[in-house]
Amino acid sequence: MPELPEVETVRRTLKEVLMSKTIKRVSLFYPKLVQHDPQWFSNQICHQTIRDIKRKGKHLIFILDHDAMLIHLRMEGKFFIKDDSCPILKHEHIVFTFESGQELRYHDVRKFGTIHLHALENYESIPPLSKIAPEPKDIDVQSFYQLLVKKQITIKQALLDQTLISGLGNIYVDETLFKSRIHPTRKTNQLSYEEVKIILKSANEVLQKAVELGGTTIRSYTSSLGVTGRFQNQLHVHMKKGEPCPICQTPIIKMKVGGRGTYVCPECQT
DNA sequence: AACGAAACCTGCGCGC
DNA sequence: TGCGCGCAGGTTTCGT
C-alpha cells in the first residue's frame, strides 16, 4: 500500500498510539522479513521503548532507546494494533507485544516487506537509508535537472528511482506527469529546465494533497489501522483506462513503461 | 549505462 | 465450476 502519502499517514497514526510504549516481546512468524539473525534481533529490541516514529521516503523509522528499526512496506505491508488476546491471522508475520498488552502486528500478504535494525549512531549513513534521495519538497530544480540531463532513461523511470528522488511510486508518478502535461516516455536528457521545474512542482502538489487526504486507498479492502485514504477520488489518470481525460475528454490509455502499468492522456501529455 | 526479464510472494479478476 | 494467465501502490538482481 505504500507511497509517501500512505506511509506518512501510517506514521502519524502509529506515533499517536505507540509513543513511549515499551516492547516486551517479539514474535516472528516469517523470519525472512527481518534482515538479521532472528534471535539477535529479538534480544536486541526487547525492553526498548519507542521514542519517536519518523519517515524517510517510503521507509518508516522507529526510534528506540539505542536503535532505529527501519520498516519498508513494499507492496502490501500494513500495520494493525490489536489486543494480545486476538488470534494471530494468516498474514501477520511479526508481532510486537507491549507491556500494556497491546500489540503492533505487521500484515503482508506478499511478504515483500523488510525490517532492518541499526544503531542510532549510524543508521542514516548505511543502507538502506543511505541510498535514499531527498523528497520532491527538498530537491532544488537546478540539482535535479543536472542529475536528469546526465541520464538517458524515461522520466517515469527516473521518478520511480528512489536514489534520484524519493517518495513517489506508480500512482503518484502517473498523476504528477499528467499534471505536468509530460509524457512518461520522454527521455530525461531531453527535458528542458522549465519542464523539470514543472515536474518537481507538480510532484510536490500531488504529494501534499494526498498527505492531506490520508493517502490513496485502492484495491485494499482492509485498510490498516482503520485508516482509509481519500485521494483516490482525486486521481485523474491512474486506473482510468478508457475514461475521458478531465481536460480534453480524450480516452485515457494504458501502456507499459519500464515494466510498470502506466496511464496517460495521449492528447494532453507530450 | 540502459533495457528487459526474472525474482521475491500471494490473491484476485478475467476469459475460455 | 475450474484453469490458466495477467496483474498488483516495490525493489533488487542478472543477463544482454
CB-CB contact of A2 with A58 (8 Å): yes
Residues in chain A: 270
Pick out the nucleotide with least CA–C1' distance to A58. Answer: C10
d(CA A180, CA A130): 29
Prediction pTM value: 0.97
Residue A8 burial (C-beta neighbours within 10 Å; 0-12, 13-18, 19+): buried
Pick out the nucleotide with least CA–C1' distance to A109. Answer: B10
pLDDT digits (tens, 9 = 90+) for A140-178: 999 999 999 999 999 999 999 999 999 999 999 999 999
Task: Using 70 as the pLDDT threshold, list the residues of chain A that sit under it.
Answer: 1, 220-224, 226
Statement: the CB of A176 is under 7 Å from strand C: no
Q: Tell me, what's the pLDDT at A219?
A: 77
Segments of chain A assigned E as strands: 23-28, 52-56, 59-63, 67-72, 78-83, 92-98, 102-107, 114-119, 253-257, 260-264
CB-CB contact of A245 with A267 (8 Å): yes
Q: Which of A111, A181, A197, A260 is catalytic?
A: A260
Statement: the CB of A244 is under 7 Å from strand C: no
Return the H-helix or E-strand segment holding A191.
Answer: none
Statement: the CB of A112 is under 7 Å from strand C: yes
Q: Which residues pair with A251 in a beta bridge?
A: A244
Which of the 3-62 residues on chain A come under 7 Å of nucleic strand C at their beta carbon?
3, 6, 57-58
d(CA A106, CA A72): 11
Q: Tell me, what's the pLDDT at A54?
A: 98
Which positions in strand B are less than 7 Å from the protein's CB atoms?
Answer: 1-6, 8-11
Angle subtended by helix axes A193-212 and A4-18, to nearest 10: 40
Question: Quick check: is A3 catalytic?
Answer: yes
Q: Which residue is nearest to nucleotide C6 (CA to C1')?
A: A261
d(CA A95, CA A118): 19
Q: Which residue is nearest to nucleotide B10 (CA to C1')?
A: A110
CA of residue A51 to C1' of nucleotide C4, angstroms: 50
Q: Tell me, what's the pLDDT at A223?
A: 66
CB-CB contact of A134 with A207 (8 Å): no
Question: Quick check: is A121 catalytic?
Answer: no
Q: Tell me, what's the pLDDT at A226?
A: 59
